[in-house]
Structure 1
Amino acid sequence: MKIQLALDRLTIPEAIRLTHLVESHIDWIEVGTSLIKEFGMDSVREMKKAFPHKTILADTKTMDNAKYEAEISFSAGADIITVMGTAPIVTIKTCMEMARRYQKRVMIDLLNTSSEQQKSLLAIEDAIFCLHISKDEQELNGKNEWQKSQIPADFLTPSHTIAAAGGITLDSFSQLLTSGINIAIIGSAITKASKPADAAKQFNQLAKGGVFINE
């Protein structure tokens, strides 16, 4: 399982400083929607400059204007962009086309999609699919625990790359490890930890099949 570090509600220097602390324990770096909204494509450019050998995901959450948003994101250094599964199908297909043109990838965020929409989207080749518990659902509705039973069986096939995002903690991480999920997107459990490097190391060791020993 890969670990994607989600960076949100930070300044660019804070995001870079924190990522340096945990770099060796994570696989992908997500430039969160809040960074992009507050600082624009500079947030993507600076993260790619600081971590050129890491996969950078720009969480654009594209709903429209796909060609433009894909172009500026990929040109800024993003290796992956996100598009909402609830976007018009032409928007999603345009993101996929732009990714092929730039030899990059697209993650389709399935937040608030119906089971019918999800089944239709699963036919899109080469996409990454993200099952997502939103921030508002976590903070306002108290829905913040991942369970293996939440993952539809249709997703868990060798032909699909599946990510899970939203409120993942060390406790819920064990559920994901046996679920068949390919990518765990982890934010606050690392970024708000008293010792982010230790938290990231623990997730990484568990993801690789080991047992964390607090040295």
Structure 2
Amino acid sequence: MKLQLALDRMTIAEAIELTKQVEDSVDWVEVGTSLIKEFGMSSVKELKQAFPNKVIVADLKTIDNSRYEFEMAFEAGADIATVMGVSPLVTIDACIKVAQRSNKLVMFDLLNTSKEQVSDLLKYNEAIFCAHVSKDEQEETGAKNLGTKHGGLLTDPTLKLAAAGGITLDSLESLRKTINPSVVIVGSAITKANNPSEAAAKFKQAIGQGE
């Protein structure tokens, strides 16, 4: 299980500084949607330059104009870029083709994606499927249940699964028992902790104990 650090609602300099604090404990570094929207591809480029040995995830949440956006992200240094699972299949196809050409990966953000849409996506078995409880769901309704998302569609052991949305140390074991993701995406439980380095180390330890 990989630990992906989600960086949002901060400046590029703050993102780099925070990542330095937790670098030894995290595997993948996500340049969050808010960073990309506020600072553009410079955020991706600077994070990759600062951490060349880390897998950099550009959380584009692309839903249209996919070829252009994915080419920009990969040229800036991203190793993985995200597309919304609700996107038209022509958009998904374009993302996959750009990624294959660049020897990069695609992550499907399954936020608000129906079971039928998820079924259509299963043929793209080289992609990463991310079960996601949105920030608005967390903040406005308190929703945190990732385990029941998309029924039993994500139980295929050959699929690469990720999970995101309000994940804490306390919820990690439950998550492992339900969808057992290969990537756990953690944001505020690390970035807003009093001691981010210690918080990240505890996540790494908990992940290691379950393997």
TM interval, shorter chain, is: over 0.9
The answer on whether the counterparts of 1:30 and 1:59 sit within 8 Å (CA) in structure 2 is yes
Q: How far apart, CA to CA, are the structure 2 residues paired with 1:22 and 1:31?
A: 15
- Percent sequence identity is 56
Residue identity in the other structure for 2:143: K
Q: Which residue of 2 aligns with 1:172?
A: 171
1:100-154 CA distance string (max 9 Å, x none): 00000000110001111111111212010000000000001111244x4446333
Residue identity in the other structure for 2:170: D
Name the SS of the counterpart of 1:59 in structure 2: strand
Q: Which residue of 2 aligns with 1:29?
A: 29
Q: Provide the aligned C-alpha RMSD in A.
A: 1.4
Q: Which residue of 2 aligns with 1:70?
A: 70
The answer on whether the counterparts of 1:177 and 1:207 sit within 8 Å (CA) in structure 2 is no
Name the SS of the counterpart of 1:25 in structure 2: coil
Query: Is residue 2:130 matched to residue 1:130?
Result: yes
Q: How far apart, CA to CA, are the structure 2 residues paired with 1:52 and 1:178?
A: 33
Q: How far apart, CA to CA, are the structure 2 residues paired with 1:108 and 1:86?
A: 9
Q: How far apart, CA to CA, are the structure 2 residues paired with 1:48 and 1:128?
A: 20
1:26-64 CA distance string (max 9 Å, x none): 110000000000000000000000000000000000011
Change (3 A) 1:2 1:140: same
Query: Is residue 2:130 matched to residue 1:105?
Result: no
Q: Which residue of 1 aligns with 2:204?
A: 204
Q: Which residue of 2 aligns with 1:156?
A: 155
Residue identity in the other structure for 2:177: T
Q: How far apart, CA to CA, are the structure 2 residues paired with 1:21 and 1:81?
A: 24
Residue identity in the other structure for 2:159: H
Superposition misfits of 4+ residues, deviation over 4 angstroms: none
**1:158 CA drift (Å):** 2.3
**1:187 CA drift (Å):** 0.1
Name the SS of the counterpart of 2:130 in structure 1: strand
Q: Which residue of 2 aligns with 1:4?
A: 4
Residue identity in the other structure for 1:80: I
Residue identity in the other structure for 2:48: K
The answer on whether the counterparts of 1:145 and 1:172 sit within 8 Å (CA) in structure 2 is no
The answer on whether the counterparts of 2:8 and 2:34 sit within 8 Å (CA) in structure 1 is yes
Name the SS of the counterpart of 2:87 in structure 1: coil
**Number of matched residues?**
210
Unaligned runs of 5+ in 2: none
Q: Which residue of 2 aligns with 1:213?
A: none
Give the TM-score normalised by the residue count of structure 1: 0.94
The answer on whether the counterparts of 1:156 and 1:181 sit within 8 Å (CA) in structure 2 is no
**1:3 CA drift (Å):** 0.6
Q: How far apart, CA to CA, are the structure 1 residues paired with 2:151 and 2:74?
A: 31
Unaligned runs of 5+ in 1: 211-215
Residue identity in the other structure for 2:154: F
Name the SS of the counterpart of 2:77 in structure 1: coil
Name the SS of the counterpart of 1:57 in structure 2: strand
Residue identity in the other structure for 2:104: K
Q: How far apart, CA to CA, are the structure 1 residues paired with 2:72 and 2:199?
A: 33
